[in-house]
Amino acid sequence: MRIRDIAARAGRAGPGPLDLLIALLVQGAMTMPFLVPRAPDLPEATWTAYGLTTLTVVPLVARRRAPVAVLLAVLASGAVYRYAVDGPGQPLPYTGLVAFYTVAELSSPPKRIGVSTLTALGVVVSVGLDSAALRELLFSLFVFAAAYAFGRLAVTRKAYLRAVEDRSRQLELTHRIEAEQAAARERARIAREMHDILSHAVSLMIVQAEAGPVAVRAAPERAEAAFDAISETGRDAMVQLRRMLGVLREDESAPDAPRRPQPALDGLPGLVERVGLGGLAVSYEVTGNPRPPGLAVEATVYRIVQEALTNVVRHADATSARVRLEHGPDALALTVTDDGRGPGRSGRGPGGGSGLGLTGIRERAAAHGGTAGMGRDPDGRGFRVSVTIPHPRPEPEKPEPEPGQQTGPKQ
């Protein structure tokens, strides 16, 4: 196992094991001069000298808890080793550098300034008493300055890592919120779809079922048409619900997953015909120059007409309704009117409904940048739903490059 892996594991375990590992590494570095044979004119290394080197290393285990005290202890034990024992010299003051690095990393600015000043004076005095060589003085000051710089860089690195982690957590929180908002929008969309499908289908089936017994006695052929309409409406609702629930399935790749396109404008005549089978006279008119508004807009217009006619059947007590679709140069205009009793006392919808369907109409129109209005028809009778959805603006065409003009980056 490499030393870097060992240090990484010790760092994950906490500061205590990491400090112990650093102390062992420093002890190993300071042991090397004792293993190298000394010159014949020098006395042999003793166990006393080796023991003093260990005393200079032991305080490093507590370097994070008391950086200044550990540095003073290391310098004091180093001075005793230098001047009281004739032991092997060290190429670098390992323990002093590690302790000084810790002071630079963990101590406050006043302590750092005071300790740096005392350390610099100690280095000058030590070199002056030893060799008094300028080269040794400059080298010693350089290595201690490097230890201080690395200590401050460690602080900067930790601050940067904390900022990156905070930003990562913030991004994760933002993504989670966006995902929840997207899920909420999708749930609202599905709720609107299911409301439109079920409300329309159930309303038509109820109206046609209620008219069936009367038609059996008065006009049997109409009764048969009414029951056929009930069956067709139910099957259509089941197909649409299966398609919608298929979107919610976890395994969309299942072979039996339904695949059916969204409703479009070409389905409006069939929708009007099915509503008319229940006894309501519904007319459908298209004016202007048709232009493809896009699949999403077509599905929205279909659902709006479906909801508006459902409200007419359920609440308006009307005998006739008219659907008018106008393809204008700038927008698609839809109007659904009836000759019923108009808004109820609550003013929320025809016949005093809950108004959820009308709210859904507004939301559907707004999703495409359009507007929706509803209220009493200008002639004073019935109810009108008016929706305007602007055509999407075409993207400006890019000019064709002139002959010989370079379109890509120069090589």
Residue 292 to residue 391: CA distance in whole angstroms:
9
One domain, residues 120 and 186: no
Tokens for 72? 């003073």
Q: Distance between CA 304 and CA 310 in Å, rounded?
A: 10
When mean pLDDT is compared across 13-27, 98-112, 272-286, 371-385, the lowest value belongs to 13-27
Check which CATH number belongs to the domain holding 346 and give it. 3.30.565.10
Residue 109 and residue 201 share a domain? no
Q: Is the pLDDT of residue 329 over 90?
A: no
Q: How many CA atoms lie within 13 A of 86 on its CB side?
A: 5
211 and 297 housed in the same domain: yes
* 63 in a structural domain: yes
Q: Residues 197, 331: one domain? A: yes
Q: How confident is the model at residue 183, as a pLDDT?
A: 74
The answer to whether position 288 is within a domain reads yes
Q: Tell me, yes or no, whether 335 and 210 share the same domain.
A: yes
For residues 122 and 201, state if they share a domain: no
Of the candidates 132, 147, 169, which is a domain's last residue? 132
pTM comes to 0.44
Q: Are residues 47 and 112 in the same domain?
A: yes
| Residues 84 and 212 grouped into a single domain | no
Region 219-229: what's the mean pLDDT?
66
CA 362, CA 388: separation in Å to the nearest integer?
10
Q: What is the 3-state secondary structure (H, E, C) of 15-76?
A: HHHHHHHHHHHHHHHHHHHHHCCCCCCCCCCCHHHHHHHHHHHHHHHHCCCCHHHHHHHHHH
The DSSP element (H or E) to which 122 belongs, if any, is: helix 109-130
Residues 228 and 339 placed together within one structural domain of the fold = yes
- Structure token digits, residue 194: 């299911």
The CB-based long-range contact list for 40-43 (8 Å cut-off, 24+ gap) reads 42/86, 43/86
How many CB atoms sit inside 10 A of residue 283's CB? 11
Kindly tell me if the per-residue pLDDT of 71 is higher than 80.
yes
What are the CA-CA distances from residue 387 to residues 113, 185, 315 (Å)?
75, 22, 20
- The reply to whether 159 falls in a domain is no
Q: What is 180-231 written as a DSSP string?
A: HHHHHHHHHHHHHHHHHHHHHHHHHHHHHHHHHHHHHHH-HHHHHHHHHHHH
Q: How many domains does the chain have?
A: 2
Model pLDDT, residue 326: 92
Question: Average of pLDDT values for 388-395?
Answer: 78
Same structural domain for residues 322 and 201?
A: yes
**Residue 100: inside a domain, yes or no?**
yes
4, pLDDT greater than 60: no
pLDDT above 70: residue 253: no
Q: Which residue has the higher pLDDT, 253 or 281?
A: 281
Q: Which domain holds residue 223?
A: 179-247+261-390
Is 256 a residue whose pLDDT tops 60? no
11 pLDDT higher than 60: no
Angle between helices 15-35 and 47-57 (to 10 degrees): 150
- Could you tell me if residue 228 is inside a domain? yes
Q: Are residues 218 and 299 in the same domain?
A: yes
**Number of alpha carbons in the 13 Å side-chain half-sphere of residue 16:** 1
- pLDDT category at 335 given cuts 50, 70, 90 is very high
Average pLDDT over residues 102-117: 88
Cα(78)–Cα(41) distance, integer angstroms: 24
Nearest C-alpha neighbor of 59 from the set 34, 28, 27, 36? 27
353 occurs within a structural domain: yes
Asked whether residue 114 falls in the same domain as residue 239, the answer is no
Pairing of strands 281-288, 320-327: parallel
Q: What is the pLDDT of residue 31?
A: 81
Q: What does the mean pLDDT of the chain come to?
A: 77
Among 97, 132, 167, residue at a domain's last position: 132
Q: Is residue 328 part of a domain?
A: yes
Q: Which residue has the higher pLDDT, 390 or 136?
A: 390
Helices assigned H by DSSP within 219-267: 220-248
Q: Please write the tens of the pLDDT for every residue from 287-310.
A: 988 888 888 888 889 889 988 888
pLDDT interval class at 349 (50, 70, 90): very low
pLDDT bucket at 324, cuts 50 / 70 / 90: very high
Is the CB of residue 86 less than 8 Å from the CB of residue 51? no
Lowest pLDDT segment from 244-253, 281-290, 305-314: 244-253
